[in-house]
Amino acid sequence: MRSLTALTENISSTPLIDSVTEPFMFPKLTAEQIERIAAHGVLRPITRGEVLIESGRYDVPFFIVKAGEIEVIRPSALDDLLIAIVRKDQFTGDISMILGRPALMRLRVSVPGEVVELTRDQMHALIQSDAEMSELLMTAFISRRIELVTRGIGDILLIGSAQSTATYRIKEFLTRNGHPFKYLNIDRDADVRDLLDRFGVDGGELPVLICRAGAVLKNPANQEIAECLGFNERIDQAQQRDVVIVGAGPAGLASAVYAASEGLDALVIEACSPGGQAGSSSKIENYLGFPTGISGKELAERAHAQAQKFGASVMIAKGAAGLTCEPKCHGVRLGDGAIISARTVIIATGARYRKPPLANIAEFEGAGVYYNATFMEEAQLGDGDEVIVVGGANSAGQAAVFLARAGRRVHLLVRSDSLSVSMSRYLVRRIEETPAIQVRTRTEIVALEGNGHLERVLWRDSTGAVTSQNIRHVFLMTGAVASTAWLDGCITLDSKGFIKTGPDLTRQDLAAAQWPLDRSPYLLETSRPGVFAVGDVRCGNVKRVASAVGEGSIAISFVHRMLAELGPISSAPPVGAYLERPNINVGV
Ligand SMILES: Cc1cc2nc3c(=O)[nH]c(=O)nc-3n(C[C@H](O)[C@H](O)[C@H](O)COP(=O)(O)OP(=O)(O)OC[C@H]3O[C@@H](n4cnc5c(N)ncnc54)[C@H](O)[C@@H]3O)c2cc1C
């Protein structure tokens, strides 16, 4: 039987990452750069064995090694692991410092010497003011994190099963939040049971997440995971914000980047993970500036880090459950009842997947039924597995092309007569040129069968004939409905549930909503002054990443105008105070 440590990683006395040969992760600073940075901090000696940073600590300092060496160690309940050695002219740090999350690693001096030390705030100020250092540090931080995620080296261990929907959910949550973790599959490795015994966990309690410091979470909700990992620990919920942005898809993240970079106090509230629908795309090829495409996850990670670099706060796994419609102020109510006060609000809650009316669909979600097609879902497939993709829009086309790359047979089921009705020409052409993809028009799934995992799919074609095939994986890309139920009638919607803004709001809409101002609503403003809507959630929006990003950034110019109307905080009438004015002028 293998040892417990062998199950989790290969322990070695040499560092896992060689900092000498990794110029992106561990660049060497020039003497001039070090001098420039040193002006922001202090110079101090370091002694052998000194722990400069303990894992789990917040607001950790940033170090540049002038002489000596610092070990980067991943402590664990099982064994410590030497990740890298930071040498002369190199610097410490990881994206956690930017995201305001606790440190993943312990930093211990192995060779005494001297460092330049900056507090987290000093380091933040540096990257906001020095473009060259910003690029250098952010590239290193992001590369280091990507390496950890790729190698599965983190401060948590997930033990689960490929057959389990909950395991899939947790893996997706961690992956989309860019948090590195080690995964052990109980189906593939019987020795994992010894590990479970060690933590006092019964096989029936899977999936289990073993957090830093040994906290054991049995089938935790996303919110519990976020709490355990300290994602939201440093966010002050009592503070009134210039702008609260609900949703961290491309639209919400773009708003956050522009708001924070223009000096506004911005808070983003995200029900699940940053990236929204775009975060589930395997490759976005039509977004300006990425000629070879970019995965939605990477785009989301970069945007998330960018927003936080400028000082926006991003709250993870906390959904908005309501907008307070009282006349005195804007407030976004969270699921736990807490209310975040805001001078302006941007709604960027996008849309969520439409589910076909199949009675047992929930049983197979994550265990054969998926709403994304990325490397994560692909890892669930066996060699040569046939798959079904359902849908006729770009997301389905991308998924079919992505999944057929390895010659895998893909059935693309479309309700309409042809793909060209709703898919971009470039994707239709790519599908036509991929023999592994079989397009089945006017066809829909009528039943899913299986025991614990999807095993069989039944579909009906245009002749009415029903076919049954042993297929274990179905990717549903069947469009989305607006995420507006949480607004509970507070904001004017169109007949399909999307938010009306600016010129789409008719006189009747404004009268019904008691629009209180002399002016008309701004372009992206809803039926409530100071509340804006951007991206897929907005009626009339073109459902694309570029339009979401564009609207998210434009909205900030209207936020500035609204804040100017309100005046300085001390003398500002609360936004809703307008509602008390007796003469309603709906001058649109
Ligand atoms: C698989 C796929 C592939 C795609 N590929 C492309 C492509 O190649 N090119 C392209 O241009 N477009 C593509 N799209 C469309 C594009 O992703 C969307 O148009 C874009 O993501 C919309 O951005 P958004 O920010 O408006 O909304 P979303 O991306 O839907 O993000 C909304 C966010 O709000 C959060 N949220 C919802 N409700 C709440 C709440 N109550 N409280 C807090 N948070 C909440 C959600 O969790 C989500 O993160 C694709 C879409 C999919 C699904």
pLDDT value of residue 213:
64
Q: What is the mean pLDDT of residues 127-131?
A: 91
Distance in Å, CA 60 to ligand 1 centroid: 33
pLDDT value of residue 203:
75
Contact, 143 vs 25, CB < 8 A?
yes
Structure confidence by residue, pLDDT tens digits, 437-461: 999 999 999 999 998 899 999 999 9
Residue closest to 544 by CA, chosen among 257, 374, 299 = 299
Distance in Å, CA 354 to ligand 1 centroid: 13
pLDDT value of residue 326:
66
Pocket perturbation via mutation, ligand 1, pick of 277, 487, 539, 551 by most ligand atoms within 8 A of CB? 277
| 74-110 burial code (b ≥16 CB/10 A, e <16) | bbbebeebbbbbbbebbbbbbbbbbbbbbbbbbbbbb
Q: What is the mean pLDDT of residues 82-94?
A: 96
Of ligand 1's atoms, which has the minimum distance to the CA of residue 534? 26
Of ligand 1's atoms, which has the minimum distance to the CA of residue 274? 49
Structure confidence by residue, pLDDT tens digits, 245-261: 999 999 999 999 999 99
pLDDT value of residue 191:
77
Pocket perturbation via mutation, ligand 1, pick of 169, 281, 345, 553 by most ligand atoms within 8 A of CB? 281
Distance in Å, CA 391 to ligand 1 centroid: 17
Contact, 350 vs 247, CB < 8 A?
yes
**Strand, helix or coil at 378?**
helix
Residue 146: pLDDT over 70? yes
Q: How confident is the model at residue 194 (pLDDT cuts 50, 70, 90)?
A: confident
Residue 95: pLDDT over 70? yes
Of ligand 1's atoms, which has the minimum distance to the CA of residue 250? 25
Structure confidence by residue, pLDDT tens digits, 272-285: 999 998 888 888 88
Residue closest to 301 by CA, chosen among 181, 180, 178 = 178
Q: How confident is the model at residue 402 (pLDDT cuts 50, 70, 90)?
A: very high
Strands 387-390 and 410-413: parallel
Q: How confident is the model at residue 327 (pLDDT cuts 50, 70, 90)?
A: low
Residue of the nearest CA to atom 12 in ligand 1?
544
Helices and strands in the chain, H and E counts: 16, 26
Q: How far is CA 521 from CA 89, 123, 470, 491, in A?
A: 55, 41, 54, 13
CA dist 276 and 268 (Å) reads 13
Name the least confident of 49-53, 154-158, 318-322.
154-158
Of ligand 1's atoms, which has the minimum distance to the CA of residue 543? 19
Distance in Å, CA 249 to ligand 1 centroid: 5
Amino acid at 288: L
CA dist 361 and 496 (Å) reads 24
In the block, residue with structure tokens 């305001």: 100
Pocket perturbation via mutation, ligand 1, pick of 349, 355, 490 by most ligand atoms within 8 A of CB? 349
Residue 5: pLDDT over 50? no
Residue closest to 579 by CA, chosen among 325, 245, 260 = 325
pLDDT value of residue 548:
97
Of ligand 1's atoms, which has the minimum distance to the CA of residue 253? 25
Q: How far is CA 564 from CA 551, 560, 577, in A?
A: 20, 6, 15
Q: How many residues are listed for the chain in this entry? A: 588
Measured in degrees and rounded to the nearest 5, phi and psi for residue 46 equal -125, 145
Residue 160: pLDDT over 70? yes
Q: In the numeric block, which tokens belong to residue 377?
A: 């879902």
Could you please report the per-residue DSSP string of 153-166?
A: -SS-EEEE-TT-HH
* Average pLDDT for the chain: 89
Distance in Å, CA 430 to ligand 1 centroid: 24
Distance in Å, CA 547 to ligand 1 centroid: 11
Distance in Å, CA 277 to ligand 1 centroid: 3
Contact, 87 vs 101, CB < 8 A?
no
Residue 389's CB: how many other CB atoms inside 10 A?
28
Contact, 222 vs 166, CB < 8 A?
no
Residue 324's CB: how many other CB atoms inside 10 A?
17
CA dist 36 and 201 (Å) reads 52
pLDDT value of residue 581:
39
Contact, 272 vs 173, CB < 8 A?
yes
Distance in Å, CA 577 to ligand 1 centroid: 33
Residue of the nearest CA to atom 20 in ligand 1?
545
Pocket perturbation via mutation, ligand 1, pick of 374, 532, 545 by most ligand atoms within 8 A of CB? 545
Distance in Å, CA 544 to ligand 1 centroid: 9
**Which DSSP symbol is given to 572?**
P
pLDDT value of residue 79:
72
489 alpha carbon, distance to own chain's centre: 28
Q: How confident is the model at residue 328 (pLDDT cuts 50, 70, 90)?
A: low
Residue 534: pLDDT over 60? yes
290 against 570, higher pLDDT: 290
Q: What is the CA radius of gyration of the chain?
A: 26
CA dist 179 and 98 (Å) reads 14
Residue 482: pLDDT over 60? yes
**Strand, helix or coil at 266?**
strand
**Residues with a CB atom less than 6 Å from ligand 1:** 246-252, 269-272, 276-278, 280-281, 284, 286, 319-320, 348-351, 372, 394-395, 398, 483, 486, 535-537, 543-546, 548
Residue closest to 351 by CA, chosen among 493, 237, 490, 524 = 493
pLDDT value of residue 577:
45
Distance in Å, CA 59 to ligand 1 centroid: 31
CA atoms 95, 8, 56, 48: torsion sign: negative
In the block, residue with structure tokens 């060699």: 383
Distance in Å, CA 501 to ligand 1 centroid: 19
In the block, residue with structure tokens 């936020």: 559
Could you please report the per-residue DSSP string of 74-108?
A: E--SS--EEEEEE-TT-B---HHHHHT---SSEEE
Residue closest to 513 by CA, chosen among 489, 535, 495, 497 = 489
Q: What is the mean pLDDT of residues 322-335?
A: 83
Kind plus residue range of the DSSP H or E element containing 264: none
Structure confidence by residue, pLDDT tens digits, 559-587: 999 999 988 775 555 444 444 333 333 33
Distance in Å, CA 588 to ligand 1 centroid: 30
Q: How confident is the model at residue 552 (pLDDT cuts 50, 70, 90)?
A: very high
Name the least confident of 229-233, 417-421, 445-449, 511-515.
417-421
Structure confidence by residue, pLDDT tens digits, 471-481: 999 999 987 79
Residue of the nearest CA to atom 17 in ligand 1?
278
Q: What is the mean pLDDT of residues 521-527?
A: 97
Residue 246's CB: how many other CB atoms inside 10 A?
28
- Cα 99-105-111 angle, rounded to 5 deg: 125
**Which DSSP symbol is given to 549?**
H
Of ligand 1's atoms, which has the minimum distance to the CA of residue 284? 8
Residue 464: pLDDT over 50? yes
Distance in Å, CA 276 to ligand 1 centroid: 4
pLDDT value of residue 355:
84
Contact, 354 vs 479, CB < 8 A?
yes
Residue 547's CB: how many other CB atoms inside 10 A?
17
pLDDT value of residue 201:
81
pLDDT value of residue 189:
77
Q: How confident is the model at residue 12 (pLDDT cuts 50, 70, 90)?
A: low
pLDDT value of residue 587:
32
Residue closest to 530 by CA, chosen among 358, 232, 331 = 331
pLDDT value of residue 193:
81
Structure confidence by residue, pLDDT tens digits, 350-362: 998 888 888 899 8
Structure confidence by residue, pLDDT tens digits, 16-70: 899 888 888 999 999 999 999 999 999 999 999 999 999 999 999 999 999 999 9
pLDDT value of residue 161:
87
Residue 14: pLDDT over 90? no
